[in-house]
Amino acid sequence: MSNVAFIGLGVMGYPMAGYISKAGHNVTVYNRTGAKADKWLSEYKGSKATTPSEAADGADFIFTCVGNDKDLKEVTFGDSCSNSLNGIFKTIKKGAVYIDNTTASATIARDIYDFSIKNEFGFLDAPVSGGQAGAENGALTVMIGGDLVNFNKAKDIINCYSKKMKLLGAAGSGQLAKMVNQICIAGLVQGLSEAINFGKKAGLNMENVIEVISKGAAQSWQMENRYKTMIDNKFDFGFAVDWMRKDLKIALDEAKKNGSLLPVTEIVDQYYEDVQKMGGNRWDTSSLIKRLSK
């Protein structure tokens, strides 16, 4: 069994760290809100650190699952206005493997990779998909960038919380693949929103309609898992609009760099902005339908 540090116990990181602990590894957790770490310790075996650097000290594997590039810099390099927040790079040992599950930019992934090479530890950018339910069920999809040697070292630990993982290329490839994932989801949710709204206004029983079309070419995860709550006007089931807009901004910024055209994604991002103006910042991403159901 390995010594593992896990930094970031949000809706995703909390159960992910739990699965690593349940697999028998020695897990030390850190969270900016200490009460969340205390709650985690009441449910799982492990220990609590007061800083990221303390959590990483002596760890064979270090995981982070935080909010964005800025948060990631704080917990790694230690960039913060708070003197008490010491980054994991202050104590990470040579030969350790650092796995970042944050959805962040490919640029920061490459920067961290370059730093890891100079300081003789491994790094994998490994954003996840599957939402809160996937994390709670230990069934996340993990998109990974980095070197094969570090992937082979870390894959058994990553497997604790995943149903599918794949090394997709050099550092940054995991983050780029997550952008592809979010681009797909944005279009799918908008299409499903329009279809449900259209069907309801046409007088169809949409429960029955979805039962039929979900077995054909229109089928998607979004359809299978969100159509009922969308019909019932309930939007408290997972990934929040604020986080989706953060992810879409990353994708749109990357598209400008590589010359990609993302016309649908740009429109859907604007639609999510409309949802935010409606007070839906914390609604889940299927709340796009709220714009149509006036």
Catalytic positions: 178
DSSP 105-129: -HHHHHHHHHHHHHHT-EEEE--EE
- Extract the tokens encoding 26: 């020695």
Rounded CA separation 129/35 (Å): 26
- Extract the tokens encoding 104: 């962040």
- In the 8-state DSSP scheme, what is residue 141? E
- Calculate the alpha carbon distances from 112 to 120, 129, 166, 266 in Å: 12, 22, 20, 29
* Strands in 104-254 per DSSP E: 122-125, 128-129, 140-146, 162-167
Nearest one of 293, 185, 191, 164 to 238, comparing CA atoms:
185
Rounded CA separation 160/139 (Å): 9
Rounded CA separation 235/239 (Å): 10
Rounded CA separation 198/214 (Å): 16
